[in-house]
Every structure is written in C-alpha cells, then in structure tokens.
Structure 1
Amino acid sequence: MRRKAMITVGRKKKKGGGAAPVSRTRPFQHVVLRRLRELKKIVPDARDADVDMLLRRTADYICILELKVTVLRRLSAIYGV
C-alpha cells in the first residue's frame, strides 16, 4: 500500500509558545516606524536615508550637539553670563 504525499497549503498552526501573536507585533512595528519617521524630521540630511544611515547620522548629530553645548558653556563661563 502506498502512502499519499502530505502537502500543506497555507500556514501551519503551531502548538504552544511560538512567536508572539500578530496582534502584538504589528503595533510594535508601527511604533518603531513612526519613531523613525519622527527622527528623520529632526536629524538634518536624513530624509532619504535608510535605517542604518539614519542611526549613524543621528549619532553624529548627537555628538555635534554635545560639542555645541560644551562650547557654549565655556563661552558663558568666560564672559560670565
């Protein structure tokens, strides 16, 4: 007697603790995408950048802002403002 080949069409249902349900992951993805869009608005020259370049430019921008704050603090200490 021959066995029939088992063909699965569509998704397989998992039993037990598989990955997080779709209802939980989708809002997380939407939150991340929304925050990336907001970050692209804040960081200069990042409108057309992909995620890797956006994060690199964000890190550079943070360093530049920290340097500006340091310079301004020293200037205010020198001039007594």
Structure 2
Amino acid sequence: MEDNLKIERYSTDDLLEKLRDKNIFRTADVEFAILEPSGSLNVLPKKENQPLTPKIIGMTLALEKEPQTVIMDGKVLIEPLEPLKP
C-alpha cells in the first residue's frame, strides 16, 4: 500500500489526515478506501464501525409527509390548515 501511496505522491500523514476528516482514527477500522482523481478520499468502514440504521435493526419508520405552505406572499392560506381544526 505504501508503494501505491508513493506513486500517487500521497504521504501516510496525508492519508491519516483524510481518514480523520471522515471520523476514522484507526486504519484497522477501514474495509476499503479509494483515492479519487480529484484528490478526495472515499472510505467504507468495516461493518462493525458503520452507523446503526433502522434497517439494520429491522425497524420501520413512518413516512414523512411533505411540508405544506401555510403563508404565501404574506397571506395565511386556510386550505392547508383545515385538517388541523378541532
């Protein structure tokens, strides 16, 4: 890996800095990393270091409703507020 870094003119310190930018402080926590032509580093953490998501724990979430406009051009729109009446 160090030879590949030299070819790309990328030091170990550069690599570690880019990993820290991604909140990865140990190279052992990285499953796969790729240095893009733009110079940015994309990192896939190992499974045990990836964030926990509802899908992983089998949890389903309620669908989010799209926001409704209730004021337009300084005027209150009554129609979107109708379902909220007691």
The TM-score with structure 2 as length reference comes to: 0.29
Higher helix share: 1
Higher strand share: 2
